[in-house]
Structure 1
Amino acid sequence: MHVKHLLPIVILALAACSSDKSKDENSVDESLGETALYQQSQEDLDNSSYANAIAKLKALEARYPFGRYAEQAQLELTYAYYKNTEPDAARAAADRFIRLHPEHPNVDYAYYIKGLASFDQDQGMLARFFPLDMTKRDPGAARDSFTDFSQLTSRYPNSRYSPDAKARMIYLRNLLAANEIHVAHYYLRRKAYVAAVNRGRYVVENYQGTPSVGDGLAIMTEAYLRLGLQDLSDTSLATLKLNYPQHPTLENGNFVPSVKETTERSWLSRTALRLIEEEAPPPPRSSANRDLTQQFEQARQDIPRNLLPPEQPEDKNGADSEDGTSERSWWSRLTFGLFD
């Protein structure tokens, strides 16, 4: 057997050994009492052994649900999940603690951990080592984090965690506003001008004080201009000039659209849509149409002949015959009608 065939087997064996080792490490001695379990969980937290700490805290809560360390174990479990990079479990544990102990003196900490879990949820491995633009990612976790921090600051304004929560809320608010601007620019490029106006207005009305307000006004100006609403475009432009005179869309006081309006389509677009743009066949005529045609022909026959227009002489070269067919030339017969 070649070495390259042995390599996958060795990798699987090492993975199995590591999983068995982690199982052994995370297993909790059933002979440990309440105090010993809590003390060992604290040692694991101090040593950053968060998986072991989670196992011991869960065992402590399960074995002694009404013990002296039960509430503290539930609270510290939220922190252990957060440090172990399990944001969903951290949020679930925080929600459970808030629901079970709404009057606990440290319930503000549960709100804080809940917000932190959502705040760091988008900070994955790539975002930590590469300069990714967070404003272009899904803002769902950012909205959740902003909501959690706002609950903390509104319910517990004097909490020790409120200053940090407020600082993070400023960052999240700027991020959410910038995300709305990215969506508005997408609508502009797709010529969905009404949707772009709505996004720009939403930023101006709901994210005052953020750097994206000027971008929202610029988008409203451009979208109104494309829609032909000159008065609304002038109003948005005047507000933009007054509050953001250095905005990138303003050059010497004149507005420069960020998206060029193109009417010429590419050859690929013309080719792909050729079948769609061809004239559609006429719909089948209904019985009502046929009756109307018969009535028209009958009325035409009843008109006196002296009132009818003089008949035009027939063209001998291309005149229609009595059977409705036209006489074909020798060139048409020779080329099979390709150049008719």
Structure 2
Amino acid sequence: MRKFLLPLALIALLSACSNSNQTVERVPEKSPAALYQDAQEALEVGNFLTSIQTLEALASRYPFGPYAHQTQLDLLYAYYKSGQTAQALATADRFIRLNPTHPDNDYVYYMRGLVNVEADGEILHDLLGIDRSDRDPGLIKQAFDDFSKVVSRYPDSKFAPDARQRMIFIKERLARHELSVANYYIEREAYIAAANRGRYIIETFGDTRASEGALEVMVRAYEKLGLDDLKADAEATLRLNFPDNELVSKS
């Protein structure tokens, strides 16, 4: 895997340098409708940099015209597709702040969730088989909140079903992070903290795959603390839900 990662990283670096060195041509003076049409044509063929350049010119020259809102929505999409996460997040935040009741805010929250997932990088790590459950989950928590807003505020939105599925994936990611913290506490012999974190996982992420590991942590922590009743309760729950688990299958 390492043999492939270096060439891929080099290609990405060279591509980024190439894009940054491109000569930016001045957007011609046209009507708002013509500029918007140019931007749409660039979007349709995947020429996101040209589309961004045109949309930014349109937003700057005609900030209050009939295309003002749609220009910002298209910029959000183009920034996301071109990997410009900071600009995409800023565009989403600004749009929601200035248009709190806009009918397309379900789309904006959904896109902001996608951008935060992209910034977190968890999908790439999964594809490469890299376990990064120990990393700061701040961005993925924000993504979960964004998708949650779509589901709760706009239940009939066409983006709600996909947002709901992404929340399930993110919940697994957050549960893995909490479990990595609990196991760290076990390694550091901080058994009270480990038991508390295990209980938090069961209470908050009980429907995820991390629940088995959380119960294991609780059993080990309570045993070290000499809390036999709590250990027995954790073991009973582990046996009931995961009868093949090594901690209870032979006992």
Q: TM-score range by the shorter chain?
A: 0.7 to 0.9
Maintained 8 Å contact 2:52/2:75: yes
After TM superposition, the score normalised by the length of structure 2 is: 0.87
1:219-258 C-alpha deviation (Å, 9 max, x unpaired): 1111011111112111211121122212243332x2xxxx
Change (3 A) 1:44 1:119: same
Q: Is 2:49 the counterpart of 1:28?
A: no
Report the equivalent of 2:134.
Answer: 136
Maintained 8 Å contact 1:61/1:73: yes
Maintained 8 Å contact 1:74/1:93: yes
| Alpha-carbon distance, 1:156 to partner | 0.2
Report the equivalent of 1:194.
Answer: 192
Report the equivalent of 1:98.
Answer: 96
Maintained 8 Å contact 1:134/1:175: no
For residues 26-105 of structure 1, what are the structure 2 equivalents within 5 Å?
27-29=26-28, 31-105=29-103
| Alpha-carbon distance, 1:69 to partner | 0.6
Change (3 A) 1:144 1:248: farther
Maintained 8 Å contact 1:149/1:165: yes
Computing the radius of gyration from Cα coordinates, the structure with the larger value is 1
Percent identity over paired residues = 45
Report the equivalent of 2:211.
Answer: 213
2-structure distance, mates of 1:80, 1:87 = 10
1-structure distance, mates of 2:73, 2:19 = 28
SS of the residue 1:108 aligns to: helix
1-structure distance, mates of 2:212, 2:69 = 49
Change (3 A) 1:21 1:188: closer
Query: Which stretches in structure 2 are left out of the alignment for 5+ residues?
Result: 1-13
Equivalent position amino acid for 2:22 in 1: S
Change (3 A) 1:185 1:20: closer
Maintained 8 Å contact 1:152/1:162: yes
Query: Which stretches in structure 1 are left out of the alignment for 5+ residues?
Result: 1-13, 255-340
Q: CA RMSD of the aligned region, Å? A: 2.2
Which of 76, 86, 111 lines up with 2:109 in the alignment? 111
For residues 134-283 of structure 1, what are the structure 2 equivalents within 5 Å?
134-252=132-250, 254=251
Maintained 8 Å contact 2:235/2:248: no
Equivalent pairs counted in the alignment come to 237
1-structure distance, mates of 2:18, 2:196 = 54
SS of the residue 2:157 aligns to: coil
| Alpha-carbon distance, 1:19 to partner | 6.5
Change (3 A) 1:156 1:241: same
Equivalent position amino acid for 2:210 in 1: S
SS of the residue 2:168 aligns to: helix
Report the equivalent of 2:6.
Answer: none
| Alpha-carbon distance, 1:105 to partner | 2.0
1-structure distance, mates of 2:74, 2:164 = 23
